[in-house]
Structure 1
Amino acid sequence: MEKLLCCDKKVDKNTCVSSPEPLLNSRRVLQNLLQLEDRYYLASSYFVCLQSDIKPYMREKVTEWMWEVCEGEHCQQDVFPLAVNCMDRFLSVVKLKRSQLQLLGTVCLFLASKLRQVVPLMGRKLCQYTDNSVTQEELLSWELLVLSRLKWDISAVIPNDFLEPLLYRLLLSEGARTKARQHAEVFINMCCTEFKFSMYPPSMVAAASVGAAVQGLHRLNKELWESSRELLTRLHLITGIEIDCLRHCLEQIEEMIAADITPTQTSPMVSLNGNGSNNNKMADSSGLKPADSKPETPTDVQDVHF
């Protein structure tokens, strides 16, 4: 039996971190994740086969709102992707009205924070983020509904679960690994707002996000990789995902990044309450906001004219 070690680190109240080194070198851990992930991503589009009142752009607005709530509450990085995963899986089995979509997103944030944080999000605070369009009674009753329809299986495999094993096996320095992880986490969050990535295996989204982060940070450091294909080949050997599939996913992520970093004065984001916003996903998630600014969390997705 492999020996497991846990070295505690000093962290804030919402974080529980241990030294993962003994586990990262274990092929069994990565293999288990790869075997389990098939349960937790969509095989088909629920917009085609089930949902008629909800459209993809509505999902995008709600997921962006969920991301901003997580930023405003300083949630752990894996709370938002897990919440979106739960929301997508629920929408694949239960037909909803558009007026119920923010309620579902709120409930999924509530559940994900209970699973991935030491201190979960408070129900009362989440209701306030919806401008009290969601009541605490609705939150609790829908919590049971979501759990029952997901068969209480909310401990899903998400892209974030693959980051450490991938970065460890790419033989990056500690400093480079930290920077690559931070950028990859942002890319994963961005992927969560795009529905098409919900139908990709979490390992593929993680590997492509890591590839995009490494390429962006190191411009293919010649000491490690001579070409983009060599990096993709390394990721293929780690995950078993075909190189062409990895390249296609990576290119889609890079296109999404390029579209997001266009000047805000020419393409401002519109907040869910209908007001113009200069929030830029890359800037906000990379810690580039002014130190004294407050999170500009939209309050009511139902204000948008769908």
Structure 2
Amino acid sequence: MIKGHCQTIYDPSLIEDERVLRNLLFTQSRYVIKSSYFKCFQTELDVYMRELVANWMLEICEEEKCEKDVFPLAMNILDRFLSVILIKKSQLQLVASVCLLVSSKLRQSEPIDVKKLILYADYSITSDQIKGWELLVLSQLKWDLAAVTPNDFLNLILRRLHTRCKGKDKLMTIKKHAQTFITLCATDFRFSMLPPSSIAASCIATAILGLTSLRNNFSSTEKILSQICKLASIDVSELLSIRKSIEDVLNEQISRHH
């Protein structure tokens, strides 16, 4: 038997239901951390360490061909846990491994193998440690792990932009680029305190405005930005500010690889 992940299939009736979008907008705030946990709380950790472990987690997700939302959800779980439990620097990779495991259990049919997580961590962690810390993460977050993420808003917003976009292929291109930007945002702590809907809207806007071929397929850039903002309950000025941050992070990433 050939093993492989089952791909997520979206139900059009749910995507088109206005109540789904309203409920996500209403519940998202409880999954967003309220302040930075560095310096004042996590005295042994810093933003750079989070970035390093985030990129390590992302590499695992790519290697394991995980569903697109496994990584953003894992980072959300990590941020929320680090906001309430003090850890040592030496425990960060263990906690990150647990967050990946939990997220993969929630967002795909086949979770990441614990043995593989141990291998990726170069055998610096054990199966018993993962089990113990998994229970700690679950209990500290009160088993409320299925957080709202930016990816949850993508199809809901894009579906409602369909009438303004010429062709399904263009819409899929926007989605693909937006997902890439969402992943990028998850690696950078500056986006951790923003509502998922705001990140999703800004990533969609960045995808549209960043590609000339896509801009030409919209009747009016100003109108489409206004529509995106209305759907995500975000001001245009805030969207443009987040978009600039996304471009800053993107440019930083590009400069590092040159």
TM over 0.5: yes
Which of the two has greater helix per residue?
2
Give the corresponding residue for 1:79.
70
Matched, 1:184 2:178: yes
Contact 1:53 1:98 in 2 (8 A): yes
1:13 aligns with 2:13: no
Counterpart contact for 2:7–2:67, Cα < 8 Å: no
CA apart distance, 1:136: 0.7
Aligned with residue 235 of structure 2, among 238, 242, 262: 242
The corresponding residue for 2:154 is 163
Instruction: Find the aligned partners of 2:121 and 2:56 in 1 and give their Cα distance.
Output: 9
Deviation of 1:192 after TM superposition, in Å, equals 0.8
Q: Map 1:202-241 to 2 at 5 A.
A: 202-219=196-213, 221-227=215-221, 229-241=222-234
Q: For residues 68 and 263 of structure 1, what CA distance do their matches in structure 2 show?
A: 17
Give, in whole Å, the separation in 1 of the partners of 2:10 and 2:79: 32
Distance 1:60 1:119, change over 3 A: same
Question: What CA distance in whole angstroms lies between the structure 1 residues aligned with 2:182 and 2:205?
Answer: 12
2:44 aligned to 28, 53, 65, which one?
A: 53
Counterpart secondary structure, 2:35: coil
Amino acid at match of 2:245: Q
Tell me if the contact between 2:170 and 2:214 (Cα under 8 Å) persists in the aligned partners: no
Q: Could you tell me whether the CA contact under 8 Å between 2:47 and 2:189 is conserved in 1?
A: yes
Mapped to 2, the partners of 1:19 and 1:245 lie a distance apart of 29
Q: Which amino acid aligns with 1:209?
A: C
Q: CA deviation at 1:74?
A: 0.4
Q: How far apart, CA to CA, are the structure 2 residues paired with 1:207 and 1:81?
A: 16
Q: Contact 1:90/1:149 (CA < 8 Å) preserved in 2? A: yes
Matching of residue 29 in structure 1 with residue 20 in structure 2: yes
Q: Could you tell me which amino acid in structure 1 is paired with residue 184 of structure 2? A: M
1:117 is aligned, of 108, 119, 135, to 108
Q: Is the 8 A contact 1:232 1:247 kept in 2?
A: no
Structure 1 position 222, deviation (Å): 4.1
Matches within 5 A, 1:261-280: 261-262=254-255, 264=257, 266=258
Give the % identical residues: 42
1:193 and 2:187 correspond: yes
TM-score, normalising length: structure 1? 0.79
Structure 2 SS opposite 1:99: helix
Q: Decide whether the 8 Å contact of 1:13 with 1:118 is kept in 2.
A: no
Superposed CA offset, 1:169-214 (max 9, x none)? 1113321121111111111111111101000000011110111112
CA distance in 2, matches of 1:120, 1:177: 30
C-alpha RMSD of the superposition: 1.5
Following superposition, the deviation at residue 223 of structure 1 comes to 4.6
- In the alignment, what sits opposite 1:298? none
Structure 2: unaligned runs, 5 residues or longer: none
Identify which of 90, 98, 104 aligns with 2:89: 98
- Which residue matches 1:291? none
CA–CA distance in 2 between the matches of 1:61 and 1:221?
34
Provide the C-alpha distance between the structure 1 equivalents of 2:53 and 2:217, rounded to a whole number of angstroms: 42
Shift of 1:220: 5.3
Paired residues in the alignment total 253
Shift of 1:15: 2.8
| 2:198 partner letter | M
Structure 1 moving runs of 4+ over 6 Å:
none
- Equivalent residues of 2:153, 2:197 under 8 A apart: yes
Distance 1:46 1:189 in 2: 21
Preserved contact between residue 14 and residue 118 of structure 1 (Cα < 8 Å): yes
**Is contact 1:188-1:209 (8 Å) kept?**
yes
